[in-house]
């Protein structure tokens, strides 16, 4: 099924998600049991009317990282609840990294936290998500 750190399951999920990952330029940075890091470079198509990365792109990056982290511990990859806080703007051409960590993986419910950092090391957003296992 997967190796000890969940890399195989994440690779399978990424293959299934290839169309959106390719479109957004999302790539895998690291994977361990209970944590996944994904990166994305903000391009011109992601910029909003204020000149910064639209929050929806940051949410997609963070939510995807959370789902993959959940999968490494046997959680369902579908999010049933999530809340994101945008802390700092992200500029064009910035590389953002979403570090997702499973906080709790219960028999029915799991929780994950994600920190999205800009390439200058500043925290741009945080996401907390919940999944239900079937």
From CA 63, how far away is CA 55, in angstroms rounded?
Answer: 12
User: Per CATH, is 7-132 categorized as 3.10.129.10?
Assistant: yes
User: What average pLDDT does the segment 55-82 reach?
Assistant: 93
pLDDT of residue 33: 94
From CA 95, how far away is CA 79, in angstroms rounded?
Answer: 25
Residues 74, 80, 86, 92, CA torsion sign = positive
The per-residue pLDDT for range 19-54, each reduced to its tens digit, is: 999 999 999 999 999 999 999 999 999 999 999 999
Q: Is 57 in a helix, a strand, or coil?
A: helix
The per-residue pLDDT for range 96-112, each reduced to its tens digit, is: 999 999 999 988 899 99
pLDDT at 114 over 70: yes
From CA 28, how far away is CA 90, in angstroms rounded?
Answer: 20
pTM: 0.94
pLDDT of residue 4: 54
Q: Is 22 in a helix, a strand, or coil?
A: helix
């Amino acid at each position: 099924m997967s190796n000890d750190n969940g890399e195989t399951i994440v690779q399978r999920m990424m293959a299934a998600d290839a169309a959106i990952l390719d479109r957004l330029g999302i790539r895998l940075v690291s994977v361990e049991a209970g944590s996944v890091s994904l990166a994305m470079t903000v391009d011109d198509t992601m910029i909003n009317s204020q000149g910064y990365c639209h929050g929806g792109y940051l949410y997609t990056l963070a939510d995807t990282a959370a789902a993959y982290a959940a999968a490494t511990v046997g959680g369902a990859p579908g999010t049933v609840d999530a809340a994101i806080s945008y802390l700092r703007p992200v500029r064009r051409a910035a590389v953002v990294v979403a570090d997702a960590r499973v906080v709790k993986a219960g028999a029915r419910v799991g929780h994950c936290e994600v920190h999205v950092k800009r390439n200058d090391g500043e925290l741009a957003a945080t996401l907390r998500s919940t999944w239900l296992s079937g």
